[in-house]
Each structure stands twice: as structure tokens, then as C-alpha cells.
Amino acid sequence: MPRPPRSDRPNHARRGGRPARRPNAAEQAGAPAPKGSARGRAPAPIRTDGPVLELEVERIAHGGIAVAHHEGRVVFVADAIPGERVRARVSDTAHERFWRADTVEVLEASADRREHVWAEASVDRAPERRAGGAEFGHIADERQRALKAEVLRDALSRFGGVERDVVVQAVDPALAPGARADGTGWRTRVRLHVAADGAVGPYAARSHTVVPVASVPLAVDELAALAPLSERFPGAVSIDLVAPSGADPQLVVSDGERMPRGERPVTSEVVGDRRFTVDRDGFWQVHRGAAATLTKAVQAAVDADRFDPRAANLDLYGGVGLLAAAIGDRFGDTVRITSVESDERATGHAGANLADWVGARALTARVDRFLAELEADASAGERARLREATVVLDPPRSGAGRDVVDRLAALRPAQLVYVACDPVALARDVGLLRRQGYELEHLEAFDLFPNTHHVEAVARLAAIV
């Protein structure tokens, strides 16, 4: 296919079409951002001469890294499974309380260890040359989901004060045609990076080093076929591969220059019988079956006995209207719902995407400011309709946070349906809401990012009368 101009670039970096955090550039290639690194700052180079330790791997931690101890010090170990004994090279000693290390040899393997689904990410490669973005690819699928459930369960206990069993569900294969049973073939958006010599590849794990690869197995087949892995792009910064469900796959070359907002191309995504317009550089769930999975999960999470279609229902961090549409499709065309999103272009698309419902509207506003204005200016009648409301919120990875939680609690909606991509952020907000008189009633978790540590959850919290 002809290459587009280099300025014609997507930036799949924010939820719901707003341009900046989830996932970041490294995460689009699948590589999680180094924890604690400043935004836009390259992480410290990985040490290749650190000491090699023999470690007993104890458990998994938030972020997908395993935990071990050496002479009383915590060691976070990549590419290991709890219960294994490994040799690991220390890669980072900058922190007094812990070190980081990478597995270089498995001495006693878990029964759940398998050949890595991405050869270029295997422990057979030197740590600094391992492709990032498939950090659980060496673990059997069921164990991956069990580890994610363990992290979510532990976070809810520690930060939310909730003891709750958790099961992480695989995506229904009927919702993700082409995705394979080993957790490959699901990514509809992939970002590859370009090295100084023009070579193309993902970043190595926890670094900004471009790693040449011969395959991108997590990508859907049409993107795997399109990926220019053997070509060179001198002067480019990144290559974006996009496979919308309602349009042809595309390859976009970026030289790092931002496209003027008015010139951003749009595309379409299809969920069931509904079509959504979204900026090509806006956020859309990357798993082929994710949007349909979350639509069904949000519909199931709403307690119908508490739902009032005439109440002042809200869809916060609403993006292009996916979850507001899920509410409308479940409860009919009499539903009143306001979708609130900070990005003006996403809000414009949401208005068009929600045009089926006379009572639906899309507002451009920061969620915290929108809630503050509601709290300050709502009439007695509006407050009554807010107390009967259902609020859906799908915040960025950092969560809603104390300010938004406090303002929501002050408005006292009947129920909250919270979509979360980070276990600790969800658990923290659950804890804040519990202190404000809400209780966790319903929780489902989904493996929308197979072969990575990421997990998505949908929770319902209800006001205690």
C-alpha cells in the first residue's frame, strides 16, 4: 500500500479519544512504562554487568513483576513465575529498598512455564534485547489469569478494605474473531519505534532501545502482515499500525510532528449493530473483542432495580460514547444520559454516536470541574434527579482520585459502575468510596490484554441507604 505522509500520524494515547495517557507510546507496542519514570524522559539504561543472583521466586506484584528476596532485600524479577528458582542478573540498584533483576536462567521451572509466544521476548535472549510488551508470554494462559486475579484481590484487600474472591475471565472467542487460544492475534493497534539507523521494532522491556524483531504475534493477522519489520525508515520516529473494525487496516509513518487538530483523520469501529466514529489517533480498546466485552459487562453491572431512565444519568470520561451507548441500548430510547469528556473532538464524535437517544448529550469538560459545577449550581430538582442517577465512569489508568470521588459522593447517585484498567487505582478509589458510604456489590474482571500483566475490571458500587 502507498505510504501516507509522515505528518499523518495517530497517537493512541488516551481513553475514549482524548489525546494523552492510556496507553503511552511504549505501551502501544506493549511495553509498560517504567514505574516512576518521568513522562517523556527516557528510562535509565539497563545494566548488563550487574551481579547474577540465585533467587526463589515468591509471588507476583502489581505491574507483572515477580518478587524474591536476597539477603533481606526485595528483588523484583522479570520473566519469572512464582514458585520457580532462577538465576537473575541485577539490572537496577538505584533504589535503597529494592533491586530489579532479569531472569537469565531457569533452574527449577514452574509447571506453568511454556515456550514464549514471542521468540524475541524469550529468556533465551539477553535481557537488553528482549522485546517488551508480552511480559506474561512465557506463562500458561490459565495461570496468567490466576496471577492477575491474585493482584486484583490483593489490591482490593490492601487499599480498598474489601475481601473478595476474583476470577479473571477470558474474552469470549465469538467477540474476537481471529484471536488465538494462546493469547495472540488480538491487538488492533500497534506502535513500532524507529532507531537512529532507521531500523523498526518495539522497545526492549523497560527501556527506549529499539529491538529488531521478525514478528508481532500479539497483533491481529492483518497488522502482522502489514508490519514493515525488515524495512528502514530513516528520519521517522514511529510506525503505527491500525486495524479498525469498521475500516481497512492502515500503516502510518510519524516524524514526531503533531498534526493540526482540524486535520486529524477519522475512522469507524463497530460493536454489535452499532457503528462509532472515532479519530484515528484517538483511543479505542486495543483488543478486538474488548469494546463488545465491556459493553456487555457494563450492561450487566447496572442494577435495573436502581436504574431510572429519567434520572440525571452520567457517563464520565465518556470518550466517543461507547459506554453511554451501552446504557441506552439496554434501557431504551427514553434514557437521559450526559457523556462528559475533556477532549473536544471526542465529544463531537460522542454527540453523533449518541444521536439515537433524544435524552443523550455530550459535553466537553474536565470531570472534576463538571462535578464541582453540578455541586455548586444544581437546583433542588436537579439534585433529586442526581440522587436517582446511575453514573458510569471509565477513568484513565491513574483512576478517578480523591477529588472526583468526593464530589461524586456529595451528589450521592444511587449507583456507580466503574470501569478500571489498573487494580491498585480501582482498589484505592473503592476504599475512598466506602468511606463515603458506598459499598462494592459487583465485580467482574476480564483478560483484555493476554500475555501481558494488564487486566480490566468492571465494578458496581451502591450508596448505602
Active site residues: 421
DSSP E strands in 386-426: the ranges are 390-393, 415-420
C-alpha to C-alpha distance for 260 and 252, rounded to whole angstroms: 16
Give φ, ψ of 111 to 5 degrees: -65, -15
The CA–CA distances, whole Å, from 380 to 67, 374, 404, 413 equal 53, 11, 21, 14
Sign (positive or negative) of CA dihedral 151, 30, 106, 117: positive
For residue 363, what are the β-bridge partners? 340
| 317 appears as a binding residue in the annotation | yes
For residue 103, what are the β-bridge partners? 88
Q: Which of 326, 285, 318 is nearest to 302 (CA)?
A: 326
Tell the residue number behind the cell numbers 533483576, with chain if given: 101
Which strands sit side by side in the sheet containing 438-446, from one edge to the other?
Answer: 168-169, 438-446, 456-463, 415-420, 390-393, 313-316, 337-341, 360-364
Cell numbers given for 160 = 480498598
Contact, 283 vs 12, CB < 8 A?
A: yes
C-alpha to C-alpha distance for 353 and 351, rounded to whole angstroms: 6
Q: Which residues contact 93 (CB under 8 A, 6 or more apart)?
A: 47, 50, 99
C-alpha to C-alpha distance for 182 and 48, rounded to whole angstroms: 31
C-alpha to C-alpha distance for 405 and 392, rounded to whole angstroms: 13
Cell numbers given for 444 = 467482574
Q: Which of 125, 118, 152 is nearest to 46 (CA)?
A: 125
| 285 appears as a binding residue in the annotation | yes
| 341 appears as a binding residue in the annotation | yes
DSSP secondary structure, 13-82, as one string: -SGGG-SSSSS-HHHHTTPPPPTTPPTTSPPPPPPSSPPEEEEE--EE-TTS-EEEEETTEEEEEET--T
Q: Which of 100, 172, 147, 135 is nearest to 29 (CA)?
A: 135
**Residue 444: count of CB within 10 angstroms of its CB:** 20
**Residue 20: count of CB within 10 angstroms of its CB:** 14
Q: Which residues contact 95 (CB under 8 A, 6 or more apart)?
A: none
Which residues make up each annotated binding site for S-adenosyl-L-methionine?
285, 317, 341, 394
Which residues make up each annotated binding site?
285, 317, 341, 394
